[in-house]
Amino acid sequence: MGSIPEDDTCSIARSLGVLGERWTLLIIRDALEGFTRFQEFRRSLGVAADVLTARLAMLVEHGVMTKVDYQEPGERRRSEYRLTEAGRELYVVLSALQQWGDRHVPADAGPSLKRVDVETGASVHVGFVGDDGMELPPARVELRPTESYSPLRRRLHEERQARAGSR
């Protein structure tokens, strides 16, 4: 069901194989806000039932959500969809997307949600934090290839560096 490239060494490509579809991220957004039921997602998103069913099944298949049965009195058995630990970890990812959107494609009325410290009420933002707990500006963060880096991407990276060095 999922579309994860089996031989891809890129974590971003593998993640997008699970998450890289608009409805998927919006389902996770709603789940982070506490929605668990199919009809809640459907009403919130306005998505077709078959699309929602497929996206929820994929999120369950890849361990982002878990499906839990429930039954209201006098009703048939239904399912809730709850975020797993992996799903809850996407809070930072979606917060980063929100932060970027608020800055680069803002709504006329301003941000729809604000990220705040629950203890102090102070605004918070997403950023890079070193092992020492200190925040680093993006300019101080560098991506360095590891042994599992794709040979093709390594070659392209090296060619780009060589071109930059010859200027």
Q: How far apart are CA 109 and CA 101, in angstroms?
A: 13
Radius of gyration of the chain (CA): 20
Helix (H) or strand (E) holding 87: helix 85-88
How confident is the prediction for the chain on average, in pLDDT? 92
CA neighbor of 130 nearest in space, from 115, 117, 122, 140: 140
13/37: higher pLDDT: 37
Residue 98 has pLDDT above 70, yes or no: yes
**What pLDDT, in 10s, does the model give residues 45-84?**
999 999 999 999 999 999 999 999 998 899 999 999 999 9
> What residues form DSSP beta bridges with 79?
69
**Which DSSP string do the residues of 50-66 spell out, in sequence order?**
HHHHHHHHHHHHTTSEE
Q: How far apart are the first and last CA of the chain?
A: 47
Assigned token pair, 52: 């929602």
**Res 101: pLDDT:** 96
Tokens representing 33 are: 């806000």
Q: Is 91 helix (H, G, I), strand (E, B) or coil?
A: helix
CA angle 18–19–22, rounded 5-degree value: 135
